[in-house]
Structure 1
Amino acid sequence: MIAILTSGVALGVHVPGLLLASRLGERGAKVVVEVIERLLPDDRLRMVEASRSLFHRDFRVARAGQRLAADPAQAIDDAALVALHRRWRQLGVQRVVVFSGFWLGALGRLSALGLRVPEVTICQVDSVESPSFQRAAPSPVGTQVFRLASSASSDLPCTIPVTRRPPVRWPERGGRLLVHGGGWGMGTYRQRAADLSAAGHALDLVVHELDEAASAPAGTRAYLMDPSWHPWHDDGYPPLGHLAPGQDPRTVKFRRGTAHHSSFDLAREAIAMVSKPGGGTLLDSLWSATPLVLLEPSGQHEEHNARLWCDLGFGIRFEQWQDAGFVAEYLRPLHEALLTAGTGPARPLDMVEALCARKGSSCMR
């Protein structure tokens, strides 16, 4: 049994964790997903939910809050950790895969309580350490680390398959742009959507609040992320619903993928994703072979992500594409570079294959 340890404060690490769980499950592994916020006291969890709404509405506050974020593991009481460890023993958890550095503090506290911690594997989704790992407790000795992207070596050492379907060919794409602000809908994406619509581009726009759909540019297809859902509610992918023109947002029927997140299906059909450069967005870009038009990052780790994607020929800054007249064909070489990276002989190591190839792996148990 493998436990996938994520955090709900960043869908850019939570969704890759869900993807790894799905891919391992397809290989016959027994997997459980743990979201650290589920262990928090109710008052602290309400603060997290309030922060999500505030960060969505004010990007400046989000960027400042990221630098000052406290480790939630410190707010977890010992009884919750003991109950978690008891459940892991009952399930037979032999390995944990850490997607959020906040979990390292919780694992360290388990050790301090005299409780045995399963073998630890870390998955770094971003190209440098994200804020949760920068503030993390030390990793246990012998910890295995997988990196999905690396600024230090300017490459993609490892990956998690989003789908086994091949990317959509460039001539078969509908010419639309997918515009979003990551899992919490942060950044300048709504302003940029207006700029791109004015330049004549058809858009798919992901919104997060009921009142935002009404302000979407004319001709835009709006998709609403269920504003009442949080990753600590369940282990499913984020619920997403299409909002038809003039439709009451309260009547949207939300759906979610069972093998991967629904927004990835939009990415596969798009000629580019216009977004801040979160780690999960990089993964979507690779597996859909969809270029990134890069918006303002939310922190230094995302700035490193942006530089890496530009250096590899997979992305372009919004301002650069604007200077080129927002010409769609300008993006085609980026798509072709992504195709080569994802399917060529130098493609990244499949993390699922690596975990399942380990001696004594629980993938086959």
Structure 2
Amino acid sequence: MIEVLTSGVALGVHVPGLLLADRLRERGMPARVTVLERLLPPAKLATTRAMKVAFHRDFRVALTGQRIATNPFDAVPDDRLDELFADWSTRRPRRFVVFSGYWLPIVARYADGCGDVDVIVCHVDSVASPSFRDTTTYAGTRVWLADADRGTIPTTIPVSHAPPVPWPERDRTLLLHGGGWGMGTYREHLAELVGAGYSLDVVAHEPADATVDDPAVRYHLVDPDWHPWADDGYPPLGRLRPDNPPVFVRGTGHHPSFDLTRTSMAVVSKPGGGTLLDSLWSATPLVLLKPFGDHERRNSELWQRLGFGITFEDWRDRGFPADALARAHTALSGAARRAPDLTELLLASR
């Protein structure tokens, strides 16, 4: 049994945790995903939900909130920790894969009471993200899905077993999103991208996001009632239409937005770690928007260094050419399968 530990406030690390659990189960290894926010009291969860809405609606608020973020471990009641540790003691997971640094003091406390445990710390971003600040003293084997310092993809998690869609079969379509919380400047560029001759798939997080009435712009709504701490599946996604309510699709084996990524010529987004993983496995280039913090800035620099993406400003200055995206697609082709699979590494060392 492998315990995969994620956080619902960062779907860029939660969804890769879900993907890893699915890949392990496909190979016969039992795996369970536990979300940190399930340990929090209701009042703290209500605050988290309110933050999600505020961060989505105003990126400036999100950037400020990131700078003052605190470790949610401080809000976890002792009785919830006791219940969690009792459950682990009963099921006895042989290994913990930690996707959020906020889990590390919890795992360390559990280890103090039960002896040594095998901890794999998985960094989805190319440098340590905010949850991993001040965690270097905690035990664990560190693995990286991207490495900005070395300019490499050291390890990866397969998003899908399907090969990338060949470039000639892709429509002149772009996918625009702001990561799991819909943050960033992606909604500011719809008119100029349509004017450049592209059709757009836009991920919405509330119906009010659908502000452009143009047949070239399609909105896809993430179920506003879905929260990772109350649901074990992928974020449900449904086409947002003015005449009918959305029919939400859950996604089997991977998140449904990845199906939009696979068929697009590029993803226009801030450079979160989960977005890098989707880009890698779909061979879909990134058009890189303003990052959410220094770790995403380094993600952006890495993707440009590898030839996998281009900044929005650079692409716009060139006139939004499709051939720049085609070159990035060529650079991405095959890169995912050249990286060691974390699933295989975990199974080989059992």
TM-score by length of 1: 0.93
Q: Does 2:147 match 1:150? A: yes
- Kindly provide the amino acid, as one letter, of the partner of residue 81 in structure 1: L
Mapped to 1, the partners of 2:313 and 2:59 lie a distance apart of 19
Offset from partner CA, 1:192-250 (integer Å, 9 cap, x none): 22321122210111010111124365421110011111111111000000123x235xx
C-alpha change, 1:50 and 1:116, in structure 2 (3 Å) is: farther
Q: Does 2:314 match 1:324? A: no
Offset from partner CA, 1:150-173 (integer Å, 9 cap, x none): 011110000000011110000011
Partner of 1:197: 194
Partner of 1:231: 228
**Which of the residues 160, 163, 180 maps onto 2:160?**
163
Partner of 1:265: 259
| Secondary structure in structure 1 of the residue aligned to 2:97 | strand
Q: Does 2:343 match 1:352? A: yes
Q: Identity, % of aligned pairs? A: 54
**Which of the residues 271, 275, 288 maps onto 1:294?**
288
| Secondary structure in structure 1 of the residue aligned to 2:28 | coil
Mapped to 1, the partners of 2:52 and 2:181 lie a distance apart of 7
Mapped to 2, the partners of 1:214 and 1:192 lie a distance apart of 12
- Tell me how far 1:258 sits from its aligned partner: 1.4
Offset from partner CA, 1:229-285 (integer Å, 9 cap, x none): 1111111000000123x235xx21111111000000000000000000000000000
Structure 1: stretches of 5+ with no match in the other structure: none
Partner of 1:279: 273
- Tell me how far 1:342 sits from its aligned partner: 2.5
Moved more, 143-152 or 295-304: 143-152
- Kindly provide the amino acid, as one letter, of the partner of residue 59 in structure 1: F
| Secondary structure in structure 2 of the residue aligned to 1:85 | helix
Mapped to 1, the partners of 2:51 and 2:214 lie a distance apart of 27
> What pairs up with 1:98-177 in 2 under 5 angstroms?
98-111=98-111, 114-116=113-115, 118-136=117-135, 138-140=137-139, 143-177=140-174
Mapped to 2, the partners of 1:131 and 1:295 lie a distance apart of 19
Partner of 2:239: 242
Partner of 1:312: 306
Partner of 1:59: 59
> What pairs up with 1:40-51 in 2 under 5 angstroms?
40-51=40-51
- Kindly provide the amino acid, as one letter, of the partner of residue 2 in structure 2: I
RMSD: 1.4
Offset from partner CA, 1:34-90 (integer Å, 9 cap, x none): 000000111111111111111111101101111211000111122111111111122
- Tell me how far 1:305 sits from its aligned partner: 0.1
Mapped to 2, the partners of 1:193 and 1:117 lie a distance apart of 52
| Secondary structure in structure 2 of the residue aligned to 1:105 | helix
Structure 2: stretches of 5+ with no match in the other structure: none
TM-score by length of 2: 0.97
| Secondary structure in structure 1 of the residue aligned to 2:220 | strand
| Secondary structure in structure 2 of the residue aligned to 1:204 | strand
Mapped to 1, the partners of 2:335 and 2:11 lie a distance apart of 24
Moved more, 328-337 or 190-199: 190-199
